[in-house]
């Protein structure tokens, strides 16, 4: 068989194989592991701290290991999701504006990766609770939810949700939505305890 005949034969075989395949390959979208979120239940955090709230039963509260000298700073940890809500508390002594500006600058740092930052006011005069919640949208955002609370005279609290994984909020979306719901529950059950103040 000559070289020309071999080439024609191979081309004919290739065309027959191609024609016999009725489908054309199309790449599949990237998939992620399914994350099952358990039914939400809550328990009360109420100790010697200047505040109390209900937090998820599947989470653990620990002292902030990075700030051992801050006795009212805590982490609400979700070990199964590698997620933590970092909560820092400070008493107010004519420095509320500085705390508010510092917190705002922490949110602004996420602008380069954020698609949107949706803020919502928290106003509840009966509980002396005022603040802001920031829902930060974007695939590579390091902290998808942050909030601040104050009574405007004595207490200031800041919270931020972080994950100990490379940010890919498409795959984390079910967990992010569940924890955002938990944070909203924490805010709805939050109370100051005015008889205790940080020294």
For the chain, the domains span 42-192
- CB-based burial, 182-199: b 16+ in 10 Å, e otherwise: bbebbbeebebeeeeebe
**Which H helix or E strand runs over 4?**
helix 3-20
Task: Place 52 in a pLDDT band, splitting at 50, 70 and 90.
Answer: very high
Report pTM: 0.78
Residue 3: pLDDT above 90?
Answer: no
Residue 50: pLDDT above 90?
Answer: yes
CB atoms under 10 Å from CB of 105, counted, come to 9
How confident is the model over 131-181, as pLDDT tens digits? 999 999 988 888 999 999 999 999 999 999 999 887 665 678 888 999 999
Query: Which residue's structure tokens are 């390091």?
Result: 142
Q: What is the largest CA-CA distance in the chain?
A: 99
Is 3.40.1000 the CATH number for 42-192? yes
Query: Which residue's structure tokens are 């937090």?
Result: 55
């Amino acid at each position: 068989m000559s070289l020309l005949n071999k080439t024609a034969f191979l081309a004919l075989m290739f065309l027959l194989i191609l024609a016999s395949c009725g489908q054309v390959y199309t790449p599949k979208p990237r998939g992620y592991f399914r994350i099952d979120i358990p039914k939400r239940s809550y328990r009360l955090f109420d100790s010697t701290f200047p505040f109390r709230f209900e937090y998820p039963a599947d989470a653990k509260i620990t002292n902030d290991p990075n700030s051992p000298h801050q006795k009212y700073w805590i982490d609400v940890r979700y070990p199964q999701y590698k997620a933590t809500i970092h909560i820092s508390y400070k008493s107010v002594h004519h420095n509320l504006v500085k705390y508010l500006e510092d917190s705002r600058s922490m949110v602004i740092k996420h602008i380069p990766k954020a698609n949107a930052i949706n803020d919502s006011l928290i106003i509840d005069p009966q509980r002396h609770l005022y603040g802001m919640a920031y829902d930060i949208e974007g695939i590579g955002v390091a902290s998808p939810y942050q909030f601040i609370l104050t009574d405007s005279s004595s207490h200031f609290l800041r919270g931020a949700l972080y994950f100990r994984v490379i940010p890919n909020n498409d795959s984390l979306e079910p967990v992010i939505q569940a924890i955002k719901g938990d944070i909203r529950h924490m805010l709805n059950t939050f109370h100051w305890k005015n008889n205790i103040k940080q020294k």
